Amino acid sequence: MNRVYNFSAGPSMLPLPVLERAQKELVCYGDTGMSVMEMSHRSKMYEEIIAKAEADLRTLMRIPENYKVLFLQGGASMQFAQVPLNLLSGYKTGKADYINSGNFANLAIKEAKKYADVKEVASSKDIGYTQIPDWDEAEFRSDADYFYICGNNTIYGTRYTKLPETGSVPLVADLSSCILSQEYDITKFGIAFAGAQKNIGPAGVTIVIIRDDLLGHALDITPTMLDYKVMADKGSMYNTPPTYGIYMAGLTFDYLLQQGGVAEMEKRNVEKAKILYDYLDESALFHNPVRPCDRSLMNVTFVTGDADKDAAFVKAATAAGFVNLKGHRTVGGMRASIYNAMPIEGIEKLVAFMKQFEVENK
């Protein structure tokens, strides 16, 4: 069986060299005589694995000393609760401002409302989330405990190209579907977090990058497992961390460094996305619904405007080895998720296939 071009939004494609290295090391890691899966998380050999993963991520993202890197569980969705639990100055009284840019931002808002006085300062919900909401800084509350955005909207294919200026209010960003795809200045964020399964490794690890001064303020009701400070003090090992997932993430970090780091990824991702968007803009059949300045580099959505044609396209593409192009169930249409691991050939071949489909379906 050949590997396909997998356009899944997540879990998604991983770099082949990463999978092959994991395969090579699966049964016996180095000279340990055991699999990483079988190692104690307290062992010296595992300590080296997690320390290298963290150091490489720090290098890749230029994470300063005054930020902690945590490897947690519960997915990005757990952060929707963990962020308010840790950052609010009071239960139900602490203020949090949110920009509602899509499904995952909306879920984060819903969850935060259980604990916080939430204000939605901008939203693009009523226009189907086809753009990053335009915001008015006058709406931001200067006494908010934090300000929340979703950096890349996986379902709708939008991304922030500039960040809101929140002054001394810590900016929290869900970077699940854009981490390591483009350069970010981490110092702009109080917290940046990401589930691993889009651009890093298998599902099961959540990376949380948090500025030191935001630790140690969790609400009393916060479960111990969800207190960032507990996890920071214990080096992400209050309990057993997702050891194998962290190892796999480490392999990806190592691979990305060899490839030239995030700057090189960004360059390739801009080039990759452009091939697809340029075609969508000239196509008479396919159309991208997103405001051009907000187009995602990672998730490219498109429609024909005819649900039957969309379905026929997805079916034909699947048969040709371009899989998981169906759009999210809440929006329909198509979506090509083109994370770091998607090679440029995958996109060139997809566009060639789309052109052919267009000719045959005039």
Ligand X SMILES: *Cc1c(COP(=O)(O)O)cnc(C)c1O
Only one of the segments 14-22, 90-98, 170-178, 241-249 lies at the binding site for ligand X (rule: CB under 6 A); that segment is: 170-178
**Which two tokens mark 173?**
């960003």
Q: Which of 10, 164, 201, 346 binds ligand X (CB under 6 A)?
A: 10
Give min distance, CB of 161 to ligand X, in A.
16
69 is an interface residue for ligand X by CB under 6 A = no
68 is an interface residue for ligand X by CB under 6 A = no
In angstroms, the CA 225 to CA 283 distance is: 50
Q: Which of 82, 131, 158, 177 binds ligand X (CB under 6 A)?
A: 177
Q: Which of 104, 277, 279, 286 binds ligand X (CB under 6 A)?
A: 104
Give min distance, CB of 331 to ligand X, in A.
14
In angstroms, the CA 109 to CA 81 distance is: 9
**Which two tokens mark 262?**
């995030």
* Cα within 13 Å of Cα(7), Cβ side: 30
Strand partners for 285 = none
Q: Which of 86, 130, 154, 243 binds ligand X (CB under 6 A)?
A: 154
In angstroms, the CA 248 to CA 53 distance is: 9
242 is an interface residue for ligand X by CB under 6 A = no
Angle between helices 75-87 and 103-112 (to 10 degrees): 40
Give min distance, CB of 299 to ligand X, in A.
8
204 is an interface residue for ligand X by CB under 6 A = no
Q: Which of 17, 75, 235, 343 binds ligand X (CB under 6 A)?
A: 75
Ranges assigned E (strand) in 242-352: 299-302, 322-323, 334-337
148 is an interface residue for ligand X by CB under 6 A = no
Q: Which of 176, 199, 243, 288 binds ligand X (CB under 6 A)?
A: 176
Peptide bond into 17 cis (omega under 30): no
In angstroms, the CA 33 to CA 27 distance is: 8
Amino acid letter for position 298: M
Q: Which of 56, 145, 174, 310 binds ligand X (CB under 6 A)?
A: 174
Binding site for ligand X (CB under 6 A): 10, 75-77, 104, 150, 154, 174, 176-177, 195, 198
